[in-house]
Amino acid sequence: MRPEVLFTSEEIKREVARLAHEISRDYRGRSPLLVGILKGSFVFLADLIRMMDIPVEVDFVILSSYGSGTESSGEVKVIHGLEQSIEGKDVIIVEDIVDSGITLSHFMDDLSTRNPASLRLCVLVDKTARREKDIQIDYMGMQVHDEFVVGYGIDCDEQYRYLPDICQVKD
């Protein structure tokens, strides 16, 4: 598979700065807990928090919805959960990509039963073509239609995470 650039590192930087600005503005005076969904969100989350100008806490979860292919299996498993209680906290989930929405809708349903003060969603890439679950994205970076993307922390079978751009891979 050959990667083809969809969003350059400069374009990504601009979008991440915009999201960081919006979140900082909306949570001024508070210290939200950012929950990154591993592994794909680690580069995005690392850049995002360094462009914000409010204090934040960070935690990570590992969820599994895709096997080793490019289609969602429809099954969501928690491989590694949160290390702290979210009761009374302002929680922002940070995800690399929303595709069908199945992964996030399961995870958000689970978190909302744990009494956070608020729960919002920040997504770098909104992939619109195959949405099955209606989920509200509060902070959204870029949109793609149905392209399978890699780079900027996002993999395909553990390859391509190191690429600075977001690229499309085709068979």
Which C-beta is closer to ligand 5GP: that of 27 or that of 44?
44
Catalytic residue, from 90, 96, 99, 126: name it. Answer: 99
Tell me the sheet residues that pair with 63: 78
The closest alpha carbon to 111, from 137, 78, 145, 74, belongs to 78
Which C-beta is closer to ligand 5GP: that of 102 or that of 119?
102
Q: Minimal distance in Å, beta carbon 35 to ligand 5GP?
A: 13
Q: Which residues bind ligand 5GP (CB under 6 A)?
A: 37, 40, 65-66, 72, 96-103, 127, 148-150, 154-156
Alpha carbon distance 108, 26 (integer Å): 20
Which C-beta is closer to ligand 5GP: that of 6 or that of 54?
6
The answer to whether 157 is a known catalytic residue is no
Tokens of 36: 């990154």
Alpha carbon distance 111, 152 (integer Å): 26
Element (H, E) at 22: helix 9-26
Question: What residues are annotated to the active site?
Answer: 99
